[in-house]
Amino acid sequence: MGGEGMKILVVGGGSREHAIAEAIARSSSTPRIFSVSENRNPGIRRIVEESGGEYALAPISDPGKVAELASRWGVEIAVIGPEEPGFHGVADSLRDEDVAVVGAVRKLAVMEMSKAEMRRMQWRNGVPGRLLFKTYHSFEEAMDDLRSQPDAPTWTQNVALKPARQAGGKGVKVIEDGQAYLHREKAEFKVKHAEWIDRYISGYGDLEERILVEEKVWGPEYTLQCFSDGYTISCGPLVQDNKNAFEHCMGPETGGMGSYAGPGPLLPFITREEYDRSVEIVKKMVDAVQRESGERYVGFVAGQMMLTELEGPTLIEMYSRLGDPEGVNLLALLETDFVDLLEAMIDGKLSSVELKFSEEATVVKALAPKGYPDDRRAAGGHPIMADEGAMTLDGCKLYWGSVHEEDGLYTTGSRAAEILAFGSNLPEASEIAERCTGAIRLLDGWGLYHRSDIGSKHMLERMDELADRARALYKYREERGTLGKRKDWIPGLGLVDPAQELERRLRG
């Protein structure tokens, strides 16, 4: 077998990249698929072999290595899956080798790499859906603010405490300090965590700013994933990812334990108007980063959004890639020929491609070995097996993730696989996916966990309730002209607008 079509390289070895490779393989143009990743992913390997391509193991964030492989294989298009290669300039070096790249070059990927820079860019360019924030170069510098008393301006109390750099879905803490009687515990925790962030981010060695403190907001979250050719941005159906490791939104932050989308382009609790506003926000961010960098944005881009009482659609984070697992939902629903789409992005002709998505509901559930996310050593090294036949019979698809194939198949410490199911509605898809989780297990008896509540009726009811509350409040603000407006009263200073303060600070 083997395709006669174009040679296309997929960079990355996770479930998202498995889904990307599969979407490419579905194309009527029968492309030959090549892959480079740090783990041998059996799903990607199979697709590569069937298409007559080649598979190499190499450090994917090493621009020289990836470019060398691409030119050795003579690939025409490269698609970059994860964020780290983008941060390290892999797209740039591929471009230097005359490979057409779908993936943000370094100066564009900064929008995701530096959460601080992302916020500054948003404020500088007046992009809506903004949050107050402050950055620090060290934890010593942050200490006083983190310990500030519970009667300080509210936003400094209820905060998201983050590494200033994207750190692979790790290190974000959301701390509400709403009980003065527990202030001491929370302040101490914040300081200790900031100390950890400081150390952790200095390990990357690529950013001066280490700690970001951001106003905490509440509301349902959703991800808007789009394709950009530098002129046009076309967006897909909304997807909701779920970050907490365990059921009922409990437990540590993960890269995402499961996601759901549909039926149709909206989520059941997000309106068309909110969708449109979210698209506006992502568009404006891409415009801003293109203008400021002078680079053309060819690739995937996504806004991780929250519907807040403060402003409605609000930007939590930008992705210079597809989400994982959200990308699996998106590509599963995509009906347009993916290679046509890639070419249109490269050629700047996205506006002439009609993006078509299936109207079905999809649910993706991630499976992770016990220990993930905080004890990856314990989570790694377990033999894993899936009965893909049984899964197919039940109507599911399996996307291999953090596993490595070498004398058997072993977990490598992160989310090992993702299961995708379709349905006419979300609870139905959720139940199908749930059934399929039984067809995959670790052979040494170590636990493999997932969240049974992703896309369930109960979860949707809760999201509905949350969205209704946030919506009622932001709509009322809109009526009164106070959308996104904040006011503080500080004894001795009087009435202050923290947003104006922030803008003054940013102007220097």
Partner 1 sequence: MTGILGIGAFGSSRRNWSVARFLYYGLLALQHRGQEAVYIITADGDLHEAGGEGPVDYTLVKGVDDIPGYAGIGIVSPAEGISIHGDVALAGDGAPFLTGGWTSLTSKLSSLLNSSSPIDASVKILDEVPGAYSFIALTSDGTLMIARDPSGLRPLEVGSLGFDMGAVASESSALEVMGMKHVANVEPGEVVVMDGYSVEKAKVTRAGERSRLCSFEYVYMARHDSIMDWLPVYRVRVRIGEVLAEEAPAEADAVIGVPETAVPIAAGYSKASGIPLEIGFASTGRRTRTAIKGSGIDRLIGVQLKLNPVEAAVEDRDVVLVDDSVVRGTTLRNVVWALKRNGARRVHVRIGSPPLRAPCPYNSSIPEPDELIGSSLSEDQIAEVVGADSLRFLSLDGLIRSIGVPMDSLCLRCWGVRG
Smallest distance, partner 1 to C-beta of residue 372, A: 9
> Which positions ≥6 away from 290 have C-beta within 8 Å?
108, 230, 296, 297
Which helix (H) or strand (E) segment holds residue 469: the answer is: helix 457-480
Residue 387: Cβ-neighbour burial (10 angstroms; 0-12, 13-18, 19+)? middle
Report the C-alpha gap between 134 and 142 in whole angstroms: 9
Q: Does 114 bind ligand ATP (CB under 6 A)?
A: no
Report the C-alpha gap between 79 and 276 in whole angstroms: 27
Nearer to partner 1 among residue 157 and residue 234 (C-beta): 157
Tokens of residue 257, six digits:
């334990």
According to DSSP, the residues that pair with 262 across neighbouring strands are: none
Smallest distance, partner 1 to C-beta of residue 179, A: 5
* CB-CB contact of 22 with 35 (8 Å): no
Q: Does 200 bind partner 1 (CB under 8 A)?
A: no
Q: Which of 160, 235, 403, 463 binds ligand ATP (CB under 6 A)?
A: 160
Which residues in 16-27 are b (16+ Cβ under 10 Å) and which e? bbbbbbbbbbeb
> From the centroid of its chain, how far is CA 445?
31
Binding region for partner 1 (CB under 8 A) out of 25-33, 191-199, 201-209, 339-347? 191-199
Partner interacting with residue 11 (select from ligand ATP, partner 1, none; CB below 5-8 Å by kind) = none
Q: How far apart are the first and last CA of the chain?
A: 62
> Which positions ≥6 away from 402 have C-beta within 8 Å?
14, 39, 411, 412, 413, 414, 415, 416
Q: Which of 156, 166, 240, 278 binds ligand ATP (CB under 6 A)?
A: 166
Nearer to ligand ATP among residue 172 and residue 288 (C-beta): 172
Nearer to partner 1 among residue 227 and residue 372 (C-beta): 372
Q: Does 337 bind ligand ATP (CB under 6 A)?
A: no
Report the C-alpha gap between 44 and 33 in whole angstroms: 9
User: What backbone phi and psi angles, to 5 degrees, belong to 34?
Assistant: -115, 155
Residue 345: Cβ-neighbour burial (10 angstroms; 0-12, 13-18, 19+)? buried
Q: Which of 96, 140, 188, 347 binds partner 1 (CB under 8 A)?
A: 188
Nearer to ligand ATP among residue 221 and residue 405 (C-beta): 221
Q: Which of 447, 465, 468, 485 binds partner 1 (CB under 8 A)?
A: 447
Residues within window 361-400 making contact with partner 1, judged by CB under 8 A: 370-371, 373-375, 378
Partner interacting with residue 214 (select from ligand ATP, partner 1, none; CB below 5-8 Å by kind) = ligand ATP
Binding region for partner 1 (CB under 8 A) out of 184-192, 204-212, 348-356, 411-419? 184-192
Q: Which of 245, 286, 302, 345 binds partner 1 (CB under 8 A)?
A: 245
Partner interacting with residue 192 (select from partner 1, ligand ATP, none; CB below 5-8 Å by kind) = partner 1
Residues found near partner 1 in the complex (CB under 8 A) = 172-176, 178-179, 181-182, 184-185, 188-189, 192-193, 196, 243-253, 370-371, 373-375, 378, 447, 449
> Where does this chain bind ligand ATP (CB under 6 A)?
131, 160, 162, 166, 169-170, 172, 174, 214-217, 221, 243, 253, 255, 304, 316-317
